Structure 1
């Protein structure tokens, strides 16, 4: 990628967006030609194209694959064979996926210029935001970022999370020259391998600079709420540090202590008292606006499964801070940006940037009824795919990418819906991950359907000032018939973390929540319940406060990244189920069959 593109700022960045989207078809054709020219001699492409770089031959002969189709090649490179197995450029690192969607991390090949492409997309964010929220260069951003300790492949290639790779790169470190990227967190704290000590120091720095903070955020909404929970438990210690001008002695990580030495340089009793008065109130509703009074928005992913966290974020901000999702990306590739960042979270759509990779799409139907017709591992005929500029408004697609780093016609597994176009580039709403399903019999419940049903059911908690803060599920087939199990963590409005909400909710309320979920699921599920009796009554297991933080810790301890962690909406891990079941305080079942019309 032309390094010059990294320098696009302000109006130039906006002009580049227009140029790329106006010529989306031409840019895409050139991207594919360039990939084929660079990589045609690789073992993988040679197998199907015999050294040709012809685009039509690529579309006729190269198969559509999932991770299992390229995994043997990636493993061979990880073991020491040459990068030319799949790419014409040296693979510099392997990027680990979060592992929470598929159950185990995947290794994704990455070449040096991939960092350029990611940086290019990051550099578009602030020019877009500045159109809607001017003056963001006049203050600081309290963004909570974390790395994960990296590993090595057998041949010595770094194996790390994509965000760890970016935060350790020169591209991230050089951001200091950009006034829009003035963060409260010292780099040393971000780069600490101890996520707890890193969290402590980043929150401390954010509190010290509370009157300069214009933006709040984390990568995912779940990570930001985890930070609020951490603050609830540790604000007294943080106030003591500010009052004395001394970092808590339990913070022993050398990076953290070094980074905080310049931030916590002298005692500030007045600031400590301000923060103490705010945090000691009985209710934390709106606490974010009180602690950071100049904050203009919260930046975090709140689409897909992250939409579950919107009520909690609105509670802590008293609904006064817009929730902003700025970009769409994965470990495999970065895809696009949100050109209307202040829109309602339900309306977030991402414009795919045609220079990031070569995009193709598997059609899934115009109204979503065919979302599950093509299984994750089912072979997809090449002639079914459509190009970026050929997608149709309102239709659903599964995203397929071809990258410079050696992924060819690779199924990302994301289901998207076309909501509009910016010039010739389509804009997509993220619907769900394809491989997150609940199924007992003929029923097939995807992530979006599960989220919609729970969103409807949790409204029954509102009269009791109770909030569903987190959930997950699994299909229990240990009994006949099998049934859906939902794990719910509930918190009272106005209470702090750790207070049990179950005491104010009688059995009938939770039973009605069970049936409300079932009434919102599709007619196939309701038919299995009410007519075929092949699925048993849905069960809600209420878990004690803090359970989902423990679940997050479990996945992080097993190699996940705090930045990339997303609560799995369908649990497959035996260890995770054991943890959840050990924290169950009460269990409730649907009191009757859901309504069903054949």
Structure 2
């Protein structure tokens, strides 16, 4: 353990207190929220001005965004915050819309900012405990930002632009297309004039045939890479490991537009082992058991080890018993605070017949298939899919953007049978019902992979951003639902491949299917 300052020791003591008194703190949080919000238009219809916890659980329904949307839009259009929140609404977060297909306007207030600061402090303390000197030197943050927009009431990427960056360093002058004056002034101060020697050094590194281990070569004192790699972002782990070599991958916290949830107290763990310890002072949390045959809603302190739950949150900005849409698994406890692993989004499924493929199913299947690419020095840069049902039988179509480890020329790979084999591995990895309908009944056609041009998923991101998606929260949608977004992909297809064999079928499924029918 590192030597900590008195302030850091005091901060960790706060963490110990929080995680040791979860029930008491959760009860206090709910009492505070209900006392403040009991007379809002939304809660008054259920509680009639009462702030009683038992009445809240008995009378207030579990809600989705659609239940809150009319109230939120009224506030966004200039009506009083008290429609939904006893605290003034100071702004809104616009979700990316790439998980469920629709963007959401999430109300925010000063408490959200306070929680953000608190969670940031906790993250800092955890890193201080595990990584020596993490707070010394400089950090590189790749952030996607756009100007804030008002409601009615009130990349550049290194692989693409390194040559231009070196030219700027060599001359000490920024490119003309960078027109923002404050940006130009700030970067010019960092450049400090022409630096031909540094430009040559960077060029020598970036001109290598392979970009393997490029990050520690460009930044030798890098201690870790912080990023999101849980859920659908897990597919980027091989790419991060390729660029970073042995650098630790750190996912520090679990947050959403609706609320802050938890912190990874073991930041140096392997990506597949990441769990988040819920902070009981952030919001009031409830959980619906998944796949247990019991839909009894439980509090944070009553979740069971190993079980899966759908997350419900009551926050400080007017969302009461709100379905976040995330499925979590309890992996352990830190003191009395449960630790959760993110499993998948609840509402992301792919189906062309009677089967239902979850996001987790799809990610696992694609991960299995990409193991075949390693021998060809090829990586999957990004992917998405859509259910092709305009012909019978319908079939799954996956769009893959590939990257060469040594260069970006993937023509040679396309001329081989590797992608065909990937199609078959994906089908073998999907669940028994999919395999039955694909093999025995012929109700599902052969799975297809369409390889797209380099930069296709950048173009897809630009499309969603142009539609109003948040740059800071953008995630590649795993299932395309927009015909316009589909056109972005279709216009860049290089080659198509189909599975050439039927997946195996569990013989025990036939009886089960007869019983279902």
State the TM-score, normalized to the length of structure 2: 0.95
Which residue number corresponds to residue 401 of structure 1?
Answer: 313
For 2:7 and 2:468, the matched residues in 1 are separated by 36
Q: Which moved more, 1:63-72 or 1:461-470?
A: 461-470
Q: Which moved more, 1:400-409 or 1:9-18?
A: 9-18
Which residue number corresponds to residue 591 of structure 1?
Answer: 500
The answer (yes or no) to whether the contact 1:413–1:433 under 8 Å persists in 2 is: yes
Secondary structure (helix, strand or coil) at the match of 1:314 reads: helix
For 1:409 and 1:561, the matched residues in 2 are separated by 25
Secondary structure (helix, strand or coil) at the match of 1:263 reads: helix
2:162 to 225, 235, 246: 235
Query: Does the alignment pair 1:417 with 2:344?
Result: no
Which residue number corresponds to residue 285 of structure 1?
Answer: 212
How big is each residue's C-alpha offset from its partner over 1:282-309, in whole Å with a ceiling of 9 and x where there is no partner?
A: 2111111100001011000011111110
How big is each residue's C-alpha offset from its partner over 1:388-408, in whole Å with a ceiling of 9 and x where there is no partner?
A: 010000000010000111000
Query: Does the alignment pair 1:340 with 2:252?
Result: no
RMSD: 1.5
The answer (yes or no) to whether the contact 2:134–2:223 under 8 Å persists in 1 is: no
For 2:88 and 2:211, the matched residues in 1 are separated by 51
Query: Does the alignment pair 1:492 with 2:404?
Result: yes
Q: Structure 1: which 5+ runs fail to align?
A: 1-7, 157-195, 200-229, 371-380
For 1:505 and 1:405, the matched residues in 2 are separated by 51
Which residue number corresponds to residue 247 of structure 1?
Answer: 174
Which residue number corresponds to residue 468 of structure 1?
Answer: 380
Which residue number corresponds to residue 376 of structure 1?
Answer: none
Which residue number corresponds to residue 60 of structure 2?
Answer: 62
How big is each residue's C-alpha offset from its partner over 1:141-170, in whole Å with a ceiling of 9 and x where there is no partner?
A: 1112232222222221xxxxxxxxxxxxxx
Deviation at 1:476, TM superposition (A): 0.9
Query: Does the alignment pair 1:41 with 2:39?
Result: yes
Deviation at 1:562, TM superposition (A): 2.4
For 1:483 and 1:364, the matched residues in 2 are separated by 28
Secondary structure (helix, strand or coil) at the match of 1:262 reads: helix
For 1:98 and 1:449, the matched residues in 2 are separated by 23
How big is each residue's C-alpha offset from its partner over 1:237-259, in whole Å with a ceiling of 9 and x where there is no partner?
A: 21122222222222111221122
The answer (yes or no) to whether the contact 2:94–2:470 under 8 Å persists in 1 is: no
Query: Does the alignment pair 1:542 with 2:451?
Result: yes
Which residue number corresponds to residue 121 of structure 1?
Answer: 119
Query: Does the alignment pair 1:271 with 2:180?
Result: no
Query: Does the alignment pair 1:140 with 2:141?
Result: no
Deviation at 1:268, TM superposition (A): 2.0
Which residue number corresponds to residue 478 of structure 2?
Answer: 569
State the TM-score, normalized to the length of structure 1: 0.82
Deviation at 1:9, TM superposition (A): 5.2
The answer (yes or no) to whether the contact 1:333–1:356 under 8 Å persists in 2 is: yes
For 2:456 and 2:227, the matched residues in 1 are separated by 22
Which residue number corresponds to residue 447 of structure 1?
Answer: 359
Which residue number corresponds to residue 305 of structure 1?
Answer: 232
Structure 1 pair 270–282 and aligned structure 2 pair: CA distance change class (3 A): same
For this pair of structures, how many residues does the alignment match? 502
Q: Structure 2: which 5+ runs fail to align?
A: 1-5, 510-517
Secondary structure (helix, strand or coil) at the match of 1:428 reads: strand
For 1:415 and 1:406, the matched residues in 2 are separated by 22
For 2:395 and 2:448, the matched residues in 1 are separated by 7
For 2:327 and 2:99, the matched residues in 1 are separated by 14
Q: Which moved more, 1:267-276 or 1:52-61?
A: 267-276
Secondary structure (helix, strand or coil) at the match of 2:471 reads: coil
Structure 1 pair 276–507 and aligned structure 2 pair: CA distance change class (3 A): closer
The answer (yes or no) to whether the contact 2:290–2:310 under 8 Å persists in 1 is: yes
For 1:109 and 1:73, the matched residues in 2 are separated by 10
The answer (yes or no) to whether the contact 2:172–2:188 under 8 Å persists in 1 is: no
Secondary structure (helix, strand or coil) at the match of 2:242 reads: helix
For 1:361 and 1:571, the matched residues in 2 are separated by 29
For 1:29 and 1:250, the matched residues in 2 are separated by 54
For 1:562 and 1:70, the matched residues in 2 are separated by 24
How big is each residue's C-alpha offset from its partner over 1:308-357, in whole Å with a ceiling of 9 and x where there is no partner?
A: 1011111112x211111001001111111100011000000001100000
Q: Which moved more, 1:332-341 or 1:463-472?
A: 463-472
Secondary structure (helix, strand or coil) at the match of 1:429 reads: strand
Q: Which moved more, 1:330-339 or 1:249-258?
A: 249-258
For 1:277 and 1:506, the matched residues in 2 are separated by 32
Alignment of 1:200-219 (within 5 A): none
Deviation at 1:506, TM superposition (A): 3.4
Secondary structure (helix, strand or coil) at the match of 1:101 reads: coil
The answer (yes or no) to whether the contact 2:345–2:359 under 8 Å persists in 1 is: yes
1:551 to 460, 464, 476: 460
Secondary structure (helix, strand or coil) at the match of 2:36 reads: helix
Which residue number corresponds to residue 513 of structure 2?
Answer: none
Q: Which moved more, 1:557-566 or 1:474-483?
A: 557-566
Secondary structure (helix, strand or coil) at the match of 1:307 reads: helix
Alignment of 1:369-380 (within 5 A): none
Deviation at 1:507, TM superposition (A): 4.7
The answer (yes or no) to whether the contact 1:507–1:588 under 8 Å persists in 2 is: no
1:526 to 416, 435, 446: 435
For 2:491 and 2:343, the matched residues in 1 are separated by 32
Query: Does the alignment pair 1:510 with 2:437?
Result: no
Deviation at 1:563, TM superposition (A): 1.9
Which residue number corresponds to residue 241 of structure 2?
Answer: 314
For 1:345 and 1:129, the matched residues in 2 are separated by 16
Secondary structure (helix, strand or coil) at the match of 1:247 reads: coil
How big is each residue's C-alpha offset from its partner over 1:30-63, in whole Å with a ceiling of 9 and x where there is no partner?
A: 0001101011111111100111111000000000
Moved over 4 A (4+): none
